[in-house]
Structure formats: structure tokens, C-alpha cells
Structure 1
Amino acid sequence: MSTSDQTTASSSATVPTAARQAAQGATAAASPGASRFQPEIQGLRALAVLLVIGYHFWPHRLSGGYVGVDVFFVISGYLITAHLFKEAVSTGRVRLGRFWARRIRRLLPASLLVLLVTALAVVTVMPSTVWENTQRQITASALYVQNWLLAADSVEYSRMDDSATAVQHFWTLSVEEQFYVLWPVLLVLVLALVGADRLQSAPRVRLVFVGVIGALGLASLAASILFTAAEPAQAYFVTHTRIWEFALGGLLALLMGTNQLTGRLGNLLGWTGLAMILAAAWFYSDATAFPGVAALLPTLGAVLLMACGGKVGLTGVHRWFSLRPAVAVGDWSYAIYLWHWPVVVIAPMVAEAAETWPVKLLLILGIVALSALSTRFFETPIRRAEVLRPTWRSLVAAAAGMAVVIVGTMGAVAAMERTTASTGDLAADDPCYGYEALADADRCAGPVEGDGTLDPPPSEVVAQNDEPEYTGCQADGEAEGVHECWRGAEESAADGTIAVFGDSHASMWLPAWDSYAQQHDKRLLVLTRSGCTPRLSAVDDGSDECEQANEEIVDQVRDDESIETVIIAASQVHGSFGAPGRDVDLPAGEEIDDVGRAMLAPVEIWLEAGKEVVVMGQVPRMHEEDEDSSLPDCVARNEDDLSACRDAREDTRVGDRWLDRSQEIFSGEDGYHFLPTEDLLCDDETCYAVIGGSITYRDDSHVSRNYVADVSDELGRRLQETLRG
């Protein structure tokens, strides 16, 4: 989540008289050069940061507390636009270097300190599986492009299950910094194009700024609504879906300045604004399409609360937001925001008690105290340091600070990776390494997990999610058309073709099938697609790329006489889809719903075409209820007791498992073969995170590359036997 441009209590919420006069026109009431401190804005900052903290510590109770970020964006737009407007009116220009230097002195010291401290805490306390991703996000955060990195990761299939890092909240700071860069540049261009000499009065400057900012805000709001509907994961992070929130604050500064609607009606509107913010925080959730239209409720609420209210009596809404404790928390809100999220992520790794209410309350008090101290003794002295006053020194200091954080984090991760490298005797050439420890338990005495040595280590296993062995062989979920990838034997030497059909759970077995195809002089046709369950659903004008591609694949494989064998594999968990759009006569017997008919239809069609159809058993899905970490994370945290990461076999069966159930449905059908996989990872009662020193999964459901390599010969033997049988 985000914060606004943090300022001191004596200056942060001050809007200069020039800006106020322009907004008020002939009704301006202040004398030239005067300014008015608005403590209620500091109180609003306090509310915003407390909403964010509440959401992060108790996400299921304050499910929409993330809207505090949007309140911060509105405040930032208000204060920064007022500042730039004052300068434009006073001098006819905006001094970009001076403006950016002030932002640097105000924001970078605290943010770079938190990044550096967090990096050291992560490599000290967190499992090695998160180090690399944290390092890349710290780099992006230091360069203020974190939001774009997260937007890219949100649509990258291999990163969809990544746990949040301890610096993920810096995405909001990245959005704000980009706003601080682009906003003044835009206004400078406006002044240059219109001509400062023709803008001789504040009302004219105001009119031009209102027109430009209003048009930009409307365009951004439209983009936010459309993009949120089309790509909600990306829309949440990208800058152009958020600019309109800053624009709302900017328009408020230009149109009203520090003027406010008071009296009974104004105070009622102020309370209404507060109610709008709180309603969004209480009723919204992660399922809310956001930002888009939904973000209008908290942002317009913030505008109302800033523009309307009273300070008289107990009913004055601004009176409560101007109280000293509220203003103090507002003063520290930037530091509170920076420190709180690393504590949320790291504290449970230190002690399980961090998940309890009493400890959470103590942690929040500690965060507030740490924020007050870091603001008083670190952030403020650096911001006021005379040595950094010249613009060029601020810019150089910023570049140096970013470099220290990036290089320091890389060095810390590299050093820790060297100290945690495996030094045990068990390795891939050991007779009890990997699958052999499960298959030959009599010879390989001791725990199934092995002697505690891990080869490769968890950090290397989790990195496999980002390093596909067969680059380009798995189509993206939304790629158009049928995507083919050829492996196995050379076409000139091949005798027939094996096709592999399915989602990423089919792709993960490719090393085994590639090896088998080469050994048996077969071509290997890969027809896999990320997040696309192998099935035959009805296709119409509204069908997605997955459904359309599957329709073509079923017919293509059916009609290609060179394809002798088809291997099908899929995850237990899938999205919703309907029955086939064509008649498929499945064997009588067990009642089959629409989802089952869709998944089993390709099997029947290819059997009727005379193909050998091999259905792979659906692999166990480990730790299904633990959404915050992956299996390699568990292993990294429990290297002294690997049994802690085991799972009961029955608990790993979480989906409808129609491919597994195909054994009964197609039992006795010519050409049908079932290839079990559960026994590669489990015994009769237990599924293992580590077998013979080899980590079995690279997340919670995809078998690791090292373990696939270890069972490749066994899979090839099973395939050969079932085809002969």
C-alpha cells in the first residue's frame, strides 16, 4: 500500500495563499504570503495508514482496508498540485530540479533505510526460497518501478503462486514517485505550450491547469474501469489506472484551495465522506474489482472529508481529525507504512505467536514507536541537512543511496547462499537418492526424506518456476491458435509420433517423455497450455483461447495418422467450464457431470480413432490450506525436521480428479491406459516434500525438475509396459 508525500505537521498540509486566492477568485480571504495549516489532513493520513495496517494484520476482518492507499493518493494529488500551482503563479514556471530534490530529501532516506534493514532481516530470518525474489523486488523498489514488476508477475503463470515479499508494499511508493516525476513535467509542458507570458493572473493559470488535469483524470478513470474489467491483476498495480485519484486531489486544490464548506451542511458532508471511506474498508474485499468504479467510493469520500467539515463541538468531524494524537500519527504515517509490512511478513517467521491478537497489537505499538523514532532521528535530520540543499547533491545522494541498497542486497543474498550451500554426502548419484529411497525402503534404511542433506537446495528448486527447461514449449493461456512444440527424435529418423496434451501439469513431465521419445525413435508433439485444462467444451463466439485451441487440437490429433499415442495430464484444480458442444458417447456406468464429460471427451474421441491414449494420474496437491508459502518454503524452514512438511495422502486429493476416475470409466476399453503417479511421491498413507534428499515439488503442485529427472526412467518403463500390455 502507499503513502503520500510525507511532511511535517507544520508544513505538510499547508496550501499557500496564492493557490487559495486562485481557487477562491474574488472571495479570497487571506493576505498575500499567508498560509494555513490543515491538521485534519494529517488526521486523514492517520486514518488511511491505520486502515492499511488493519487490513494487513487482519485481512479477513477489515477486508477492504487497502482503500487507505487510495486516500493517500488523493492527499498527494492535493498537496503537490497546490505546491506546483503556487510556483507557477508566482514565477511563471516550475523548477523541476528543485522540486525533485525536495522530494528526494523528504522520501528517499526513510525508504532506502527500510529496504536495507529489510534485506538483512530477510536473509537472516526468512527461508532461502524467498531471497532471490526479495532481491529482485528490492531492486525494483529502490528504482521505484516495483508496481510494474508486480504487474508483470501477476500475469506470468510461473509467478502466480509466489508469496508476497517483505517489500511488496513499495509498489504504492513507486506509483507516487512516478506521479512526482510526471506531474510537474506535464505542468511545465502546459506552461510552455500555452505561454507563461499570456497567463498573467492566477485565475488563468488555474483554468488551464483544471482543464488539463481534468482531462487527464477522466482519461485515467476510463482506462481504470476498462483495464480493471479486462486485466484486474495488472490494473491494480499499473500507474495509469491510478492517476485519476491524484487528479481528484489536484482538482480540489485548484478549485477550493484551503477553503472548506462548513456549517451544518458542510459538516454533514464531511461525515458522509468519512462514512464512504469506512464503508469501502468494511465491505470491500480482495474479490472486489479494483480500482475501477469501486475506487470512486473511498476517493470521493476523501475529497468530501477534505473539502467539508467543522471543528466546533463534539459533532465537528474535522475536530476529531485535528486532535494531537491523530496529527502525530499522520506525521509518522509515512514511516509507519514503510515499517509495518516487513513486520507483517517477517514476524511470523520468528515466532508463531505473532499470529495472535495480543502480539499483533504489541507489534503495531512497536511499529508506531519505531516510526516516531526513525522520523525524528533519521528522516528529519537528513531532510534538513544543509549539505544536501543544492539540487545536484540531492540527486547524487539519491543515486548513491539506491546503489548501496541494490549492491548491498545482492551481496547479502550471495553471501548467505554460499553459507547455506549443501555440504552433505547424499547426491544425485547415491543409490538411495530421490525416488529410490521410496521405492526400495528395505535397502535405504532410515527416514524416507534421507539424511537431511538437500540436493539441490530449496532456493534452487523454487527458482525452477522461473526457468522452464523447455522454453517456448508451453503456450500462454491467452495465446491464439494451436501452439506446437516438437521434441524427441529427429523427423528423418522417427517412427511415429507421441502427442502430449494438457496444462502445466503435462508440461512438467516433458523431460521424461522427451527422453523416452528419443530412446524409442519417436517424435514428441507438445500441445500444452498454461492454465488450460485438457477438455472439449462447447465453443461459441464467447469462448476463450483455451477452449478454441482445445477444439482444434482434438480434431488435429484425431485426424493425424502419424500420431500413435496421446499422453494426457492435468491438475486436480481447474476453472469452471461446461459440457462438450458435440455428442460424445462415453462408456456407461458411473454418473458423469458436465465437467467430467468435457475432460473425458477427448479420450473417447481418440480411442474411437484408434489411438493409444495414456491418462496420467493427477499428482498430489500438497499443503492445500497453506496459501502463504510453498513446499520448498516449508523445507527451507524445517531442514532439521523435514517430516514437518509431509502431508496425509488423503488430504492431497482436493479436486474432482476426473482423469484419475477415468480408470473405472474406461476400464477394458481397447487403447486406454492409465499411468499412476501418486506412488512416485507417496506411500500408502503419506506424501513427501523430500524423498531421498530430493525436494519433490517446486511449488505445491508441480513436481520439481530434479525429481522428474529422477523418476524419468521409471515413467518410461511404466509407459513401455502399459503400451505392450
Structure 2
Amino acid sequence: MEKRFREDIEGLRGFAILAVVVFHFGVEVFPGGFVGVDIFFVIAGYLITGMLLGELERTRTVDLWRFYGRRAQRSLPLALVVSVVTLLLVLLFLSPAEQTSAANGALAASLYASNLWFMTLLPDYFAPESIFNPFLHTWALSAAAQFYLVWPVLLLLLWRWRPSVRNMAVAMTVLTLLSFALCLWLSYRKQSWAFYASPTRAWEFGVGALAALRPVTDWARRSRVAVPIGWLGLAVLCATVLLLTADARFPGWIALVPVLATAAILISGVSDQPGGPAKILKLSWMQWLGKRSYAIYLWHWPIVMFARVLDLGDHAMTIAICSALAVICAAISFRWLERPMRSSAWLAAKPMRAIAVGAMLIATGVLIAVSAGQVARMFSAQPVHAALIRSISEEPLASGSPQRCLIMFKYAAPVSCTFGASESPKTVVLFGDSHADQWSTPLAQLASEQGWRLVTFLKATCSVADIVDYNPRSRRYWPECAEWRARAIDDIQQLQPDLVILSQMSNGFIQGPWTSRGRYAVTYEQWEAGLRRSLQRLRAANVPVLLLRDSPLPRANMGHCVGRARWRGTSESSCDVPISIAIDPALTALESAVAASTGAIFADLTTRFCDEHTCPAVKSGVLVYKDANHITEDFAKLQVPAFRALLEEHEFLAAQKH
């Protein structure tokens, strides 16, 4: 196995970190920059495997303690420093509730298990709620560390079992294919697991490992096509960064493109033929970035996140300043910490010494993270913050425990729940998604007061409008939604209620600034046609329908904003949202017209949220929104009089069914 320094690999690291940074800073012309992490994984598999196999061929064994000591010596000191600095910034700028979450993230990162933590915490790496976690980027470091922990032991065991490169190649191929198959399977069933879990990412390291095998490198040295393959790989990587978007079901099949392209560049780099992508990758600025890629990766994400917390905007000047700050922090830490630690002869002299220092650094990180969590919980217990945290965390009656009447994504069979006077001859149905669910508490209270029955049919993220819907969580079109909708309408028709109250996050499904569906969102025309079909089906069974306009959408996490304002002692009114941002007049007119044309009643409670110009974050001393679009239970309970007046105005409950 070759030992020479590969400038092309250093430049490839520079390419990868540049792609990641521009993606995280929101530079729209590089939507696929997230594949930079996949490039790092392939490089890691290539270099580590080449080194380990070379040692196995020379000595018939692997000095595991020396290997782990080098890894600790290279990565742990800077990781601890960045974690401490990040936690200090968290203490300054984030609310106590966010501080608690950040401390948990720091703990998981210190233990190199943050990928497992995020796997269960966040439904999607690309989801809006992901951008305010200052330790989100550490998932990749944890996945790599888990690979470093297992791979040397596995190679050593394989070598002792069948000591030949050929047998190693067969075993690596089998393991890589098994990991890829698991990745594909989970990409369609549990996308967050496919994205974060090290077993589902191991195939990327495996492809790099296979590229490092002697038969491959020997072929590349002799072959005339190795250089063109390398150029093709670099061209494909550039195209991927420019064309791939977060809408892709990643890592899935599409991840093969950047992974194989990276492997092609690595293989091409050993060719004896002149030329190749190394001519570009050896440029001095790419070498500079590559040498500092680890430091840049560690520093850039907290800077990105805090720029968003401080609402500095995403214009070119902000991006340039924040990028420069990340590079400066990386340059300083590389010069004064990372490089001295990597080249420390004292640590390198005895592997157990480096491992002991590494263990001490990990323990220090854990201790600091636990202490930060305790401090955050102490602040959270203060009345002003405790009340806010309670308001944010309280769930609507229907979806909360123990009812759990809001069914999740993979289920298609409707679930009905009954509240109020269960034996009453008068029945109101609440039908919709989580934005209908947020009205279950006040409607159930009203049902109990007036002696009628409330029945709910609720499914998260699924529209009542009859559209072909794309699920941004599972990243696929989902027939479960269409099946649930059709079966729920059938059940409602059989129930023959006195009234159906229909509510949904309409703008979440339609092309525009409110949606998370990107290019898969429907047009206003498609929404109008789908809503009309659903209303006509209900009205065909002579079911009275009240179409409730969706609540205004602030498009920013109001719970976090108000929490930060209280923590910093600034005005909560800074979180207020202009009505022009929260309301879509075109959609209001469209739904009102559809309701009128189908014989439904259209109701709009916007005045309960907003005045003529502004939608306040706090109204009558009550937090209005718990996140970027769902209202709090406290505010929902205040709307009981509004619903009582609405139902009395239209005399639905007094009228007999037609």
C-alpha cells in the first residue's frame, strides 16, 4: 500500500468542506453541497483501509492502541474547545429550554453518539427545526468515529481468519453491499435512520476501502482510462453539488453518484499517466482548505446557527462575513491547537498516553455538557421560563396522551375519537391534520358544556383536499394519505353528523414560502380542484360543512423567539409578525369561493390572532404559537367563545339534519 502524501486527496477535502459550508450558509446555487460529508466518508474509508492493510501485510497484525491513540490525538482536543465555546454562546443567546437541548447535544457529541441522538430526535436532517441545533454537524463526526472504532478490529479479525487481500476484498464487498441494502430499505421506511445511522452509512466508507485495495491501485497505475475516469468523477461531483437538492430521498440510490465519483477521483490519483483532476485539486487554495477542513467543519455550523438566531439575514454580506469568521477561527485553532497536537512527539511516543489524554478530554466534555444541562434546567425552573416551557410542550386534547387520536404518517386506517357527551344525538366532526387537532381542546370543552358529541378524524401532514400529496418527512408520495382521506370521508358520511368542521394547514401543501414540500407542492389550481372534490363528496351525503380558514402562519418559531426575548430581557414584541407574512389573501379568497360554490360555510378567525397590521407573538399575556405554525393550548382555550359564537351564528346545532 502506498504511503506517499496525496495532494489530490488534500484538495478533495478542500472541495468537500467548501461544498458543505456553502450549503449550510444557504447559497442557493449549490443546493447539493451536503454531499461534502459523503466525500469525507469515502476518503476516510480509503485512507484508513490503505493504512491498515499496509500494516497487516508488513506485520501480520494491527497495533490497535497506536491507531486509536492517533485518532484521539488528531480529533479530540479541537472538538472539546469548539464544544465549550459553543455552549458559552448558547448560554448567551438561547433560551433556557434551548440551552437544555444544546447541553444534551453536547453530551451526545462528547460521547461520539450524536448521530444516534439526532436519529431519534429529528425526523429529517433538512427539516426547518434542524437549523437551530448547534451540534447538528457532529452527527458526521460520530458516524466516522464509530467506523474508526469498529473497522480496524474487523479487518484484523478477517485477516487472521483468511490472511489474503483477495479474501479481504470479498468480505469488504459483502459488508458494503449489506450496508447499502440496509440504507436503501430504511431510506423508504425510516429516512432519519438511513441518514444518521453508521450501519447505513458504512457502505460509503466501504466503497473508499475497496478503492484502496492493491488490485485496484495496480490497475489504476497501468490503465490509460484511469485519468479520464478521474476527470469524469470530478465533473460528476461538481454537477451533484450544483443540481442535487434536499428534496432527494437521501442517502438512497442517489448517494451512489457522489460516492462513486469520489472513489473514481481517488483511484485516478495513483495513475502513472500525466494529467488528471489532481491538476485542479493541487491548487494552493484548495490545499489550504483541505488541511484545515476538520477545523472549518467544526467551527462553521455554530457560526451559521447563531447568525440565524441573531436574525442577521442570508444576504451576500452576511454569508461572506460568517464564512470569513469560520475560516479565521479554523486557521487560528489549526495553527495553535490542531497541528501542535497532531505532531506532538510526547503523545506519539506511547499510544496509551494519547489514549489516556483522549479519555480525559472525553470525560471533560461529558462533565461540561452535564454541568451545562444542570445550569439550563435551573434557569428553566424560574417561573417566567417554566410557564413558557409548559405552554410550548402542552399537547392538544386529541393528540395528547392517552388519546393519541392524531395518527402518524405510515397509517392509513382512520381512527375516530369521541369527546363531550358520547350519547348525545347531536354530533360535530373535526376533520383534518394537526392544524385541525389544535382546535380539539376548545371544541371538546364546548361539547361538554352544551351536551353534544365531538368526533375527531385526524392525520398528521395529510390534506383533506383531494390532491396527490408528497410527504416531506418520508420524501415520497404517500398513498396512505389518499387512502385515509377516502376512508375517513366514508366514515363521516355513515356517521351523518350535524356538522363537519374542516381545518388544515392549507399553505403547507401549496407552492410558495409557507411549504416544506419544495417542487412537490401543488399549485393553487390543483388545491382548488382537490378541495372542491372533497367538499362535494361530503355535501353529496347532505353533511353540513364549516370550512375553517387556517390559522395565520408566522413562519418562525415563536416559542423560541419569545423564550430568547425573555432570557435576554428584550421586548417580546420583536417576535411579532407582519400580517402580510402570516396571511395569504389569495388562498383565503380561493377557499372562500370553493366553500360558497359547494354549499359549505367559510369561517375566518384571523381577527382573533391579528390586528390590521400585525400578528402578535403574545396576546392577552398568552403565547400564541408554540412553534412556527401550531398554536399553544393556552391560546386555543381562549377561543371557546369564538367557536360558540360561530356555531350560534350559523345555527348548526339548533338545526335538524336535512
TM-score by length of 1: 0.75
Residue in structure 1 matched with residue 460 of structure 2 by the alignment:
530
Q: Does 1:171 align with 2:99?
A: no
Q: 1:331 to 1:606 in 2, by over 3 A?
A: closer
Aligned 8 A contact 2:124 2:192 in 1: no
- 1:79 is aligned with what amino acid? L
Residue in structure 2 matched with residue 656 of structure 1 by the alignment:
587
Larger radius of gyration: 1
Q: Which runs of 5+ in 2 are unaligned?
A: 470-476, 512-523
Residue in structure 1 matched with residue 501 of structure 2 by the alignment:
567
Residue in structure 2 matched with residue 665 of structure 1 by the alignment:
597
Q: Which runs of 5+ in 1 are unaligned?
A: 1-18, 21-34, 423-453, 578-591, 624-628
Cα deviation for residue 398 of structure 1 reads: 5.8
Cα deviation for residue 622 of structure 1 reads: 2.0
**Which deviations, in whole Å up to 9, do the C-alpha atoms of 1:442-493 show, x marking residues without a partner?**
xxxxxxxxxxxx9943x5554457996455120002213112223334x4x6
- How many residues are treated as equivalent by the alignment? 623
Q: Does 1:705 align with 2:633?
A: yes
Residue in structure 1 matched with residue 405 of structure 2 by the alignment:
473
Alignment partner of 1:617 out of 540, 549, 561? 549
Q: 1:391 to 1:513 in 2, by over 3 A?
A: same
Aligned 8 A contact 2:224 2:273 in 1: no
Residue in structure 1 matched with residue 516 of structure 2 by the alignment:
none
Residue in structure 2 matched with residue 220 of structure 1 by the alignment:
179
Q: Distance in 2 between matches of 1:108 and 1:157?
A: 24
**Which deviations, in whole Å up to 9, do the C-alpha atoms of 1:507-556 show, x marking residues without a partner?**
011111121122233333221000111245699xx971121122122122
Residues 49-448 of structure 1 correspond to what in structure 2 (within 5 A)? 49-94=17-62, 99-127=67-95, 130-155=98-123, 161-191=129-159, 194=161, 199=163, 204=164, 206-225=165-184, 227-228=186-187, 234-255=193-214, 261=221, 266-309=226-269, 317-318=277-278, 321-322=281-282, 326-349=286-309, 352=312, 355=315, 356=317, 358-372=320-334, 373-376=336-339, 384=347, 389=352, 393=356, 396-397=359-360, 400-417=363-380, 421-422=383-384
Residue in structure 1 matched with residue 623 of structure 2 by the alignment:
695
Moved more, 368-377 or 165-174: 368-377
Cα deviation for residue 410 of structure 1 reads: 0.5
Aligned 8 A contact 2:500 2:545 in 1: yes
Q: 1:358 to 1:575 in 2, by over 3 A?
A: closer
Report SS of the residue matched to 2:499: strand
- 1:474 is aligned with what amino acid? L
Q: 1:500 to 1:112 in 2, by over 3 A?
A: same
Residue in structure 2 matched with residue 428 of structure 1 by the alignment:
none
Cα deviation for residue 246 of structure 1 reads: 0.9
Q: Distance in 2 between matches of 1:315 and 1:184?
A: 34
Q: 1:556 to 1:352 in 2, by over 3 A?
A: closer
Residue in structure 1 matched with residue 559 of structure 2 by the alignment:
632
Moved more, 675-684 or 316-325: 316-325
Aligned 8 A contact 2:159 2:168 in 1: no
Aligned 8 A contact 2:130 2:136 in 1: no
Residue in structure 1 matched with residue 514 of structure 2 by the alignment:
none
Q: 1:285 to 1:162 in 2, by over 3 A?
A: closer
Q: Distance in 1 between matches of 2:38 and 2:130?
A: 25
Report SS of the residue matched to 1:485: strand
Q: Distance in 2 between matches of 1:531 and 1:382?
A: 57
Aligned 8 A contact 1:533 1:574 in 2: no
Alignment partner of 2:449 out of 512, 519, 525? 519
Alignment partner of 1:498 out of 425, 428, 435? 428
Q: 1:673 to 1:643 in 2, by over 3 A?
A: same
Q: 1:353 to 1:653 in 2, by over 3 A?
A: closer
Aligned 8 A contact 1:503 1:530 in 2: yes
Cα deviation for residue 121 of structure 1 reads: 0.9
State the Cα RMSD in Å: 3.9
Cα deviation for residue 301 of structure 1 reads: 3.0
Residue in structure 1 matched with residue 414 of structure 2 by the alignment:
482
Moved more, 135-144 or 314-323: 314-323
Cα deviation for residue 97 of structure 1 reads: 5.6
Residue in structure 1 matched with residue 481 of structure 2 by the alignment:
546
Cα deviation for residue 122 of structure 1 reads: 1.6
TM-score by length of 2: 0.82
Q: Distance in 2 between matches of 1:705 and 1:285?
A: 36
Cα deviation for residue 87 of structure 1 reads: 4.1
- 1:238 is aligned with what amino acid? A
- 1:184 is aligned with what amino acid? P
- 1:488 is aligned with what amino acid? G
Q: Distance in 2 between matches of 1:565 and 1:108?
A: 62
- 1:551 is aligned with what amino acid? A
- 1:553 is aligned with what amino acid? A
Cα deviation for residue 719 of structure 1 reads: 2.8
Q: Distance in 2 between matches of 1:253 and 1:312?
A: 16
**Which deviations, in whole Å up to 9, do the C-alpha atoms of 1:77-98 show, x marking residues without a partner?**
0122123323444554556565
Cα deviation for residue 173 of structure 1 reads: 1.1
Report SS of the residue matched to 1:525: strand
Q: Distance in 2 between matches of 1:110 and 1:301?
A: 30
**Identical columns (%):** 25
